[in-house]
Amino acid sequence: MTGLVYELCIAPMLQSLGNLDAIVGKAETHVRKDEHLEPATLIQGRLFPNMRPFVFQIQVATDTAKGAAARLAGTEIPVWPDDEETFNEVHQRIVKAIEYLSGFAPKDFEGADQRSIKLKLGSHEFQFTGAQYIQRFVLPNFYFHMVTAYNILRQGGVDVGKRDFLAGL
């Protein structure tokens, strides 16, 4: 199962983060072409007033990816500040996540499917096996925030489509 954990979790997140970085590049181009649009409008953009902004979606997607890799490999989770305010800083965060995940190899996840994973969210603590953690938390949470970031940019007028989200097939 060593290679399977990597192939089902880490590899698709790496591809999706690369796609996300390209989508952010399209957002930058969109802002440059529209002289009336400030970058902060998209970076702080929301789908609905009570939802978190685009930059938050990036932060959670990257935190989910690095947390998954570290927990599944049994290593310490790096802590990154959530202080991105510009497209350049958003790119840097995504690249940092890609570089972090790229530092792992399939062998680093030997036994990860059965590893005991404790996850604390607010006042709630959850107990998973590695396989349950991937299925029930990592992938649904990661893709929720990826799709939300994509949709915020799409709603903001950025010319992105399904092919941008699925690039690399």
Which CATH number does the domain housing residue 83 bear?
A: 1.20.120.450
The verdict on residue 168 lying in a domain is no
The verdict on residue 19 lying in a domain is yes
The verdict on residue 169 lying in a domain is no
Amino acid code (one letter) for 115: R
The verdict on residue 137 lying in a domain is yes
pLDDT digits (tens, 9 = 90+) for 16-34: 999 999 999 999 999 999 9
The verdict on residue 113 lying in a domain is yes
pLDDT digits (tens, 9 = 90+) for 33-67: 998 999 999 999 999 999 999 999 999 999 999 99
- Looking at residue 1, its pLDDT comes to 52
The verdict on residue 150 lying in a domain is yes
CA 134/CA 10 separation, integer angstroms: 10
Structure confidence at residue 2 as a pLDDT band (50, 70, 90): low
pLDDT digits (tens, 9 = 90+) for 136-148: 999 999 999 999 9
Number of domains in the chain: 1
SS3 content of the chain, % helix, strand, coil (to 5): 65, 5, 30
Instruction: Read off the pTM.
Output: 0.95
Structural domain boundaries, residue 61: 2-163
